[in-house]
Amino acid sequence: MKIRVMPLGAEVEAAPGQALQDVLFSLGVEFPCGGRGRCKGCRIQVLEGSLSPRPADYEAFTPEELRDGWRLSCRARVEGDLVIQVRQWDTLVLYDNTPVEFEPQEGLGIAIDIGTTTVVAQLLDLATGQVRAVRAGLNPQARWGADVISRMEHAMAGEAAALSDAINQGLSAMVLALFESTRLPWTELRKIAVVGNTVMQHLMLGFPLEQLAMAPHVPYTMEEQTRSTAELGWHLPVDVPLRFLPNLGGFVGSDILGVILATRILESDVLVAAADLGTNGEIVAGSREGVLVSSTAAGPAFEGGRIEMGMRAGKGAISRVSVVDGRMEVQVIGGGAPRGICGSGLVDAVAAGLELGLIQPTGRITEGDRVVIQEPVAITQRDVRELQLAKAAIAAGLRMLLEELGKTEEDVQKFYLAGAFGNTLGVTSAEQIGLFRFGSERTIPVGNAALRGAKIALLSREGGVPAGIQERIRFLNLSARPRFQELFAEKMLLDPEPM
């Protein structure tokens, strides 16, 4: 049997009677409650073919939803050929179909977000704004290291051309796959818009890195860049212009410009803030009066890095921890026994440790030097310190931007959390450890807002950043400010009262 999985456009084979969970798991779909039919996190919609509802489906969905094809994929067994839409990708990395205002044009375009870890490309109809296909994959530069620092080091040690070639060939293959899956005519392809962090931009376009690598980390250029795909060595049947949106400052790239465009901060009458939490935490605050951006080195803790049993959010990772009847209860991605803990699990675990008195607000583990979350997974004293560093960097950065604007956290009306981590992070836990405190009403996960920003730029008539936008965004270099160091030290406390 053939299963076509949207919006990825992937086609996989399955045997009759096979658990759909196995098939989807291999594509990276998560099963938050371990496939017990409790969380609905694995829900899918059957677009073509049929999938008989199971008892858990009758509990999870209304009769109308069942009629519309909604099912829990963790309960389903393959009966025939299927086309399904995976719901969790609506808000996670891959898919973004939020309508944007634009002037219809002819032809097709491609919006791309180059992340340090993953790359996502969407093929769009420029007349309707409709997403025709999506492709996502790992950044092929991963073999030169998981983080931007090691990639920069390799590039500066004489491998720049190889790193540039890896991403350009990877993107070229993705674009070929987009057209292969849709069979749309190549002649319709008009333009491509790309966003990515400053290092991804330098590496792809082959800019010298020395200036960016050394304090005060100034990008080689702040201008939007236009190239042709042929010039970049892409092997496509057509040659089209590609625009790489401009950087905003040292380590604040066009991905954050994408977040600003997508969340319409520059059109807001009230003060809003946004953050993309990763190894490099980017933070934004402002309104139509103007926007401040900055970046702060959070370290890899939010991605499960440098944590003794840390891992990425994949199978076997503890992704959520809660306190039930005075004990920790965990959710493991994909179900089964835990193998490690990912960033969202770590934030939850430390919050739970605080609640249970196992961890002090200073970060000290009350007894011994580890807290068992669920055997065999534990967090150590060093792990808590790593998380404190990450948390302090973000909380101090946010405070600095607000102070610069003469405002406080109370004045912020909306706080957008961009990126995959922002979607999985437990807002209550984040508040308990003092990462931010805007309340769940003001905190809005926005998924891959960077990609949405690329799409907005693509759909604009110019195909790039709307005129006048860059002048209204100011970059603040935090590391140059003594006040930042002072705030950073204060914010090391795991204190739920960060204001």
Does residue 334 belong to the site contacting ligand FES (CB under 6 A)? no
* Contact partners, residue 347, CB within 8 Å, separation at least 6: 302, 387, 425, 426, 429, 430, 433, 435
Min separation Cβ 77 and ligand FES, Å: 14
Q: What is the rounded CA–CA span in Å between residue 385 and residue 390?
A: 9
φ and ψ at residue 433, rounded to 5 degrees: -90, 0
Q: Which is nearer to ligand FES, 33 or 238 (CB)?
A: 33
Q: Which helix (H) or strand (E) holds 122?
A: strand 118-125
Does residue 28 belong to the site contacting ligand FES (CB under 6 A)? no
Under DSSP, the state recorded for 365 is: B
Of 34-42, 83-91, 430-438, 491-499, which part binds ligand FES (CB under 6 A)?
Answer: 34-42
Min separation Cβ 40 and ligand FES, Å: 5
Under DSSP, the state recorded for 145 is: -
Of 40-48, 107-115, 311-319, 361-369, which part binds ligand FES (CB under 6 A)?
Answer: 40-48
The region, left, alpha or beta by phi > 0 then psi within -120 to 50, assigned to residue 366 is alpha
3-state secondary structure 414-460: EEEEEHHHHHHCCHHHHHHCCCCCCHHHHEEEEECHHHHHHHHHHHC
Min separation Cβ 41 and ligand FES, Å: 5
169 forms bridges with which residues in the sheet? none
Min separation Cβ 59 and ligand FES, Å: 10
Min separation Cβ 355 and ligand FES, Å: 25
Q: What is the rounded CA–CA span in Å between residue 90 and residue 85?
A: 9
CB-neighbour burial class of residue 367 (10 A; exposed 0-12, middle 13-18, buried 19+): exposed
Does residue 315 belong to the site contacting ligand FES (CB under 6 A)? no
Q: Which is nearer to ligand FES, 73 or 198 (CB)?
A: 73
**CA-closest candidate to residue 327, choices 382, 388, 371:** 371
Q: What is the rounded CA–CA span in Å between residue 78 and residue 2?
A: 10
The region, left, alpha or beta by phi > 0 then psi within -120 to 50, assigned to residue 304 is left
Using CB under 6 A, which of 7, 9, 37, 463 touches ligand FES? 37
Residue whose CB is nearest to ligand FES in the complex, by number: 74
Min separation Cβ 325 and ligand FES, Å: 22
Min separation Cβ 298 and ligand FES, Å: 30
Does residue 40 belong to the site contacting ligand FES (CB under 6 A)? yes
**CA-closest candidate to residue 360, choices 384, 342, 383:** 384
Q: Which is nearer to ligand FES, 87 or 243 (CB)?
A: 87
Q: Which is nearer to ligand FES, 76 or 262 (CB)?
A: 76
Min separation Cβ 88 and ligand FES, Å: 10
Question: Taken in order 361, 362, 363, 368, is the CA torsion positive or negative?
Answer: negative
Does residue 41 belong to the site contacting ligand FES (CB under 6 A)? yes
Of 27-35, 63-71, 190-198, 267-275, which part binds ligand FES (CB under 6 A)?
Answer: 27-35
Structure tokens at 279: 């190894």
Does residue 42 belong to the site contacting ligand FES (CB under 6 A)? yes
Using CB under 6 A, which of 3, 20, 25, 31 touches ligand FES? 31
Using CB under 6 A, which of 39, 86, 112, 405 touches ligand FES? 39
**CA-closest candidate to residue 116, choices 88, 93, 85, 138:** 138
- 108-114 and 377-380 as β-strands: parallel, antiparallel, unpaired? unpaired
Q: Which is nearer to ligand FES, 281 or 338 (CB)?
A: 338
Q: Could you identify the residue written with the tokens 């704004």? A: 129
Number of chain residues interacting with ligand FES (CB under 6 A): 13
Q: Could you identify the residue written with the tokens 């849709």? A: 182
Q: Which is nearer to ligand FES, 71 or 414 (CB)?
A: 71
Of 33-41, 185-193, 406-414, 433-441, which part binds ligand FES (CB under 6 A)?
Answer: 33-41
Q: Which is nearer to ligand FES, 76 or 167 (CB)?
A: 76
Q: Which is nearer to ligand FES, 42 or 204 (CB)?
A: 42
Binding pattern to ligand FES, positions 55-84, x when CB under 6 A?
-----------------x-x----------
Contact footprint for ligand FES (CB under 6 A): 31-33, 35-42, 72, 74
